[in-house]
Chains A and B, each alone.
Chain A
Amino acid sequence: MTLSIANLKAGYGKTEVLHDVSVPDIKGGAFVGLIGPNASGKSTLFKTLAGLVTPTAGSITIGGDDVTLLRRKDRAIRVAYMPQAYGCNALLSVFESVLLALKQTTGWRVEAENLDRVSDTLSALGLSHLADRGIADLSGGQAQMVAVAQTIVRAPEVILLDEPTSALDLHHQLSILTSIRNEMDCKKPVVMAALHDLNLAAKFCDRLVLLCEGTILADGPPQHILALPEIGWTYRVETDLEQTRRGVFYVDARLTG
């Protein structure tokens, strides 16, 4: 299974946000980090891939099928998208909220295998102790991890995560991304995550795509991308790519001037 994005143009009304975006040949099992400054079009790219924004040109194919032709519901079976975190005051437990995400694409009746899937997902993400907690009572970080659970419980071919770690502490940033990697090892979906933390991106991603003002500036392996001068000028900082003694790359950034 391969995800390919070719010559994609999309936007809202008359404003075009994505100009001719192409990300070819993303293999199943690849963790792609989407990086770029605020308002560079990362969320719009995700929404377009998920079918919430209709592209004006270009194609999105999964395993050779053009998914832009699919109906909303059929598309949701293949592509799962986690929007940026929003609060919510519903009287639902964490277990129920993950179950409802699964039930959008699996028929009306709650089957035993649905319950297994929900409990396994919660355990895999280390959320089992929150299962019967009300979602309105969660902290920002917990709510974000539940949103990740709602996305991966559906076991889609493509998982899109919009800033999955923005509200998490250091421990949970590492643990959630590790859990996602573990999940990917057995099911081999494509995972694309918008990340602001370039060091996390360097650590977890197989491939980085740098988006700026709706255009792809660079696309390749992390150590290659993060060493480019483009990183410095898109983020308006000065950067150096360093390597720790253990061989992990990290970005050392300073304000320019």
Chain B
Amino acid sequence: MTIDVNPAKMRRAYVTQVSRRYGMIALVSGLLALSFFLDVATGPGKYELSIVFDVLTDPMSHGVRLKVIVWDYRLPVAITAALVGALLAVAGAQMQTILNNPLAEPFTLGVSAAASFGASLAIVLGVSVIPAVGPLLVTMNAFVFALFTCGFILLATRLKGVGSETMILFGIAIFFTFSALLALMQYMASEDQIARIVFWMMGSLSRASWEKITLGALLLAIAIPFSLLRTWPMTALRMGEATAESMGVDVGRLRVEMLICISLLAATAVSFVGTVGFVGLVGPHIARMLVGEDQRFFVPLSALVGALVLSLTSLISKSITPGIIYPIGIITSLIGVPVFISIILSTRKERLS
């Protein structure tokens, strides 16, 4: 026999759930702020936390030397870490919703591989797809190839009879194609060039600059409201394409709009820091476990968790061996994967018990 719950109680339960989600967003924001500050405070030169905090609030409070270290070296790196983490996680979250596949992210769909090939093309042959970009040659090439790949995925979704499984297969095909092309580039490259390609592919925050940060922040400032406006149709899409359509959602159009948005985010993130896998997967996954898939909370929290993960990675990459900054791409995978697997397994156990 089932027990009926009265409507007022049902409503209250929902309202409580919603406030808990706001709390979750506040909590992760707090952790992000903490991790960000520690990231700025950590580096080859050791300074008191209070001094670093002073310099952050008033740049010239402890002289020019500290201003340069904090504002010109550490801050751009710390901001880039958080920003790129957020970009990758939002792109991953949206890809997963649109393609109805929890494995979709810029890395698994071949976007990162395409960007790496673009970068290697610039490094080895000096070939630019956009003329006169000067010092931004490598970044620009990576961006164009990433965007081109997203565009290809977008076109493929427009084909009749292409479901979400086929899309993932397309992604894997793209991944292998560009990996092969990349190997070809490395075969043709000199030793010095190979070193540069490998370094690019490992993912590094050392290429941070205020110009890139402005551009990335601008994109995120457009992308978040853009997705929030489509939050109800996107949530409906999680019920399945047929159900969403029956509710009045124009699924085809929604896919195209969101893919254009995602393409820009993913291409920008990848061209800024190189290959950083995993964040696009783990950010949305943790967010989903914390707040479910109501996109009003899922998308912002994915951004925050992604930012937190990459910010922590940046912190760890500096802390393992003093004086050496390890490439973040290596750290995300090496430390992130075991943590991630343990999270999955522990929640699975909870469900079973």
A→B interface (CB under 8 Å): 50, 52, 72-73, 75-77, 80-83, 86-88, 90-93, 95-97, 99-101, 103-105, 108, 110, 115-116, 118-120, 122-123, 126, 128-129, 131-132, 135, 147, 150
Instruction: State the Cβ distance, B237 to closest chain A Cβ, in Å.
Output: 9
Is B134 an interface residue when CB atoms closer than 8 A count as contact? no
Is B239 an interface residue when CB atoms closer than 8 A count as contact? yes
| Cα A228 to Cα B239 with chains together (Å) | 40
| Cα A120 to Cα B250 with chains together (Å) | 28
Pairwise interchain contact A76-B5, C-beta atoms closer than 8 A: no
Pairwise interchain contact B14-A104, C-beta atoms closer than 8 A: no
| Cα A238 to Cα B343 with chains together (Å) | 60
Q: Which of A75, A99, A104, A147 contacts B233 (CB 8 A)?
A: A104
B288 neighbours in A (Cβ, 8 Å): 91
Pairwise interchain contact B248-A90, C-beta atoms closer than 8 A: no
Give B70-82 as 1s and 0s: 1 = Cβ < 8 Å from A's Cβ atoms.
0000000000000
Pairwise interchain contact B236-A96, C-beta atoms closer than 8 A: no
- For the complex with contacts A88-B239, A116-B7, 16 further pairs of A-B residues with Cβ separation under 8 Å are A52-B246, A72-B249, A72-B250, A73-B248, A76-B247, A82-B246, A86-B240, A86-B242, A92-B238, A93-B292, A115-B14, A118-B14, A119-B11, A129-B3, A131-B5, A150-B239
| Cα A180 to Cα B2 with chains together (Å) | 20
Q: Which of B4, B229, B293 contacts A90 (CB 8 A)?
A: B293
| Cα A101 to Cα B239 with chains together (Å) | 10
B247 neighbours in A (Cβ, 8 Å): 76, 80, 101, 104, 150
| Cα A123 to Cα B8 with chains together (Å) | 11
Q: Which residue of A lies closest to B3 (CB)?
A: A129
Instruction: State the Cβ distance, B3 to closest chain A Cβ, in Å.
Output: 6
**In chain B, residues 1-30, which have Cβ atoms closer than 8 Å to a Cβ of chain A?**
2-8, 10-11, 13-15, 17-18
Is B243 an interface residue when CB atoms closer than 8 A count as contact? yes
Pairwise interchain contact B15-A115, C-beta atoms closer than 8 A: yes
Q: A86-B243, A88-B243, A120-B7 are in contact. Are A96 and B294 (CB under 8 A)?
A: yes
Pairwise interchain contact A119-B10, C-beta atoms closer than 8 A: yes
Pairwise interchain contact B246-A50, C-beta atoms closer than 8 A: yes
Is B232 an interface residue when CB atoms closer than 8 A count as contact? yes
Instruction: State the Cβ distance, A67 to closest chain B Cβ, in Å.
Output: 12
| Cα A92 to Cα B18 with chains together (Å) | 13
Q: A86-B240, A92-B238 are in contact. Are A119 and B246 (CB under 8 A)?
A: no
Pairwise interchain contact A119-B292, C-beta atoms closer than 8 A: no
Pairwise interchain contact B13-A131, C-beta atoms closer than 8 A: yes
| Cα A131 to Cα B233 with chains together (Å) | 21
Pairwise interchain contact A119-B7, C-beta atoms closer than 8 A: yes
Residue from B10, B15, B229, B247 with most neighbouring chain A CB atoms (10 Å): B247
| Cα A46 to Cα B151 with chains together (Å) | 35
| Cα A8 to Cα B240 with chains together (Å) | 28
Is B231 an interface residue when CB atoms closer than 8 A count as contact? yes
Q: Which residue of A lies closest to B351 (CB)?
A: A137
B13 neighbours in A (Cβ, 8 Å): 95, 131-132
A150 neighbours in B (Cβ, 8 Å): 239, 243, 247
Residue from A52, A87, A91, A95 with most neighbouring chain B CB atoms (10 Å): A91
| Cα A129 to Cα B289 with chains together (Å) | 23
| Cα A105 to Cα B233 with chains together (Å) | 10
Q: Which of B11, B18, B232 contacts A100 (CB 8 A)?
A: B232
